[in-house]
C-alpha cells in the first residue's frame, strides 16, 4: 500500500498512532493556549537543539513543567522521564503503525515534524510533508531504526540528560518500553480486525528493532510482552504504583537513584 497524503490508514488506531498532516486540518490546529497555528510551533529539530520558537521560548522545558503540574511530580527529572516516554511512544506508534499497515515508512525528519508541547495526543504532532523514506520489504526495519532512534530518540535523550540528570539506561528503557507498548496496541487492534498480516509484520519488526544498540539489553521481549531492566521513576509520583513492564513488582523503598539506570 502506498502512503497517502493524510496517512489515513492510521486513523482507525486512534490515540498515539494518529498523525496530522498538512493536508488534514482540524479544529485543533491552533494551540489551546497561544492560539498559534501549526507554522508558528517549533519543529522537533528546534526542540532537540534547545532553540526557541515564535510561541515557545523553551518548548521542552514547557512540556516537562506541564507534565510535572499534571502529575504532581516531586522533582523535575520524574516529569522529564514521563515526558520522554510520552514523546517516544508517539514517534514509535506512528512509525511502526505505518510500517505494519503500509509496508512503508514516511520521512519523519525532525525538521518536518512540528510539535505543540501544550497539546494532548493526537493534536501534538503535525507532519508538514508526507514523503517516503527509501526502503523495500527487506529494509523496513532499518528505515525504522533511522527514522526513530537515530533521528529522534538519540538527540532527545541528549537534550534531557543535559538538563535533568536522567541516566542513559533509564532513557534507553523508556525507548524500549514505548516501542513494546506501540507493538502491543497495534497487535491487539490487528487481531481484533482480522489483520493477522499486520500483526505478524509488527511483531517481526519489533523483534528486529530490539537488536538495535539503543534497545538491546533493555529488557526481555516475548512476543509483545516486555519486562524492562530499569525503571522510569513513575512510582515516585504521589499515589502511583509501578508500570506494567517495570522491573519492580511494587514501588521500591530504597533511594530513587537505585532505580534510575
pLDDT for position 255: 46
CA 250, distance to chain mean position in Å, is 25
How confident is the model at residue 40, as a pLDDT? 86
Q: Whose grid coordinates read 533521528? A: 151
223 Rama class: left (phi>0) / alpha (psi -120 to 50) / beta: left
pLDDT of residue 39: 81
Question: Which portions of the chain are predicted below pLDDT 50?
Answer: 254-261
- pLDDT for position 92: 98
Q: What is the pLDDT of residue 25?
A: 58
Task: Judge whether 190 and 198 are in contact, CB under 8 Å.
Answer: yes
Confidence (pLDDT) at 257: 45
Report the alpha-carbon distance of residue 55 to residue 37 in Å, rounded: 10
Nearest to 47 by CA among 182, 152, 120: 152
The whole-number pLDDT of residue 28 equals 58
Give yes or no for a contact between 113 and 43, defined as CB atoms under 8 angstroms apart. yes
To which residue does cell 532527545 refer?
156
Look up the pTM and report it. 0.92
Rounded distance between C-alpha atoms, residue 221 and residue 231, angstroms: 16
Amino acid at each position: 500500500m502506498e502512503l497517502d497524503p493524510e496517512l489515513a490508514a492510521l486513523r482507525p488506531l486512534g490515540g498515539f498512532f494518529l498523525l496530522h498532516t498538512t493536508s488534514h486540518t482540524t479544529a485543533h490546529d491552533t494551540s489551546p493556549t497561544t492560539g498559534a497555528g501549526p507554522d508558528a510551533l517549533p519543529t522537533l529539530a528546534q526542540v532537540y537543539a534547545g532553540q526557541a520558537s515564535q510561541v515557545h521560548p523553551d518548548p521542552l522545558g514547557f512540556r516537562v513543567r506541564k507534565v510535572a503540574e499534571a502529575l504532581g511530580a516531586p522533582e523535575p527529572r520524574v516529569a522529564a522521564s514521563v515526558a520522554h516516554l510520552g514523546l517516544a511512544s508517539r514517534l514509535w506508534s506512528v512509525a511502526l503503525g505505518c510500517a505494519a499497515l503500509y509496508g512503508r515508512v514516511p520521512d519523519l525528519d525532525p525538521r518536518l515534524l512540528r510539535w505543540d508541547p501544550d497539546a494532548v495526543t493526537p493534536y501534538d504532532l503535525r507532519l508538514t510533508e508526507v514523503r517516503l523514506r527509501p526502503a523495500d520489504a527487506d529494509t523496513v526495519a532499518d528505515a525504522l531504526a533511522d527514522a526513530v532512534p537515530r533521528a529522534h530518540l538519540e538527540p532527545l535523550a541528549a537534550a534531557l540528560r543535559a538538563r535533568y540528570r536522567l541516566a542513559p539506561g533509564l532513557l534507553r528503557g523508556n525507548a524500549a518500553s514505548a516501542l513494546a507498548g506501540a507493538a502491543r496496541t497495534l497487535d491487539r487492534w490487528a487481531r481484533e480486525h482480522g489483520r493477522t498480516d499486520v500483526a505478524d509484520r509488527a511483531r517481526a519488526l519489533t523483534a528486529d528493532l530490539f537488536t538495535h544498540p539503543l534497545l538491546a539489553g533493555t529488557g526481555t521481549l516475548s512476543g509483545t510482552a516486555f519486562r524492562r531492566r530499569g525503571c522510569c521513576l513513575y512510582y515516585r509520583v504521589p499515589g502511583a504504583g509501578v508500570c506494567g513492564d517495570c522491573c519492580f513488582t511494587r514501588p521500591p523503598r530504597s533511594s530513587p537513584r537505585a532505580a534510575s539506570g
